[in-house]
Amino acid sequence: MTPVLPKSDAAALVVAARIRRGLTWAQLAEEIGAPVVWTTAALLGQHPMTPEQARCACLLLGLDESVEESLRLQPSRGADPATLTDPTVYRFHEALSVYGPALKELIHEEFGDGIMSAINFRVDIARRPDPDGDRVVVTFDGKFLDYRW
């Protein structure tokens, strides 16, 4: 039996196989039957996949059972400090550093004392044409959870 790979190793194999096979993240998500952002995060090791999802992904990508098993494991989410050195990821960090306190105040003003869930959560990305250059639209959609004393 092949040993289970670390999630980071499995993610690297997924990325290479996706490129080699000419597949987009959206195509993989459609075949797996899950949202594109969630599917991409799962294939990069940030969510556990069901056995069916992992099997489907590995069949599409031509990867073996060691990757399939890795895709099913619980992740250590956000554990890679190297992600903050990536310019795109860093800009999200920067945006939340600048606007996070304002968003927190506005959530409290609009909803009361509580938080936006990142567990009961949806995220989406879209491209919006703009005369000054296309815009990236990221939507965070989290359930409001009130603090209960």
Q: Which residue numbers are catalytic?
A: 91, 94, 117
Find residue 124's DSSP bridge partners.
139
Residues listed for the chain: 149
CA distance 115 to 100: 12
CA distance 73 to 49: 8
Q: State both tokens at 97.
A: 């550093």
Residue-wise DSSP of 75-131: P-TT--GGGGGSHHHHHHHHHHHHHHHHHHHHHHHHH-SEEEEEEEEEEEEEEE--T
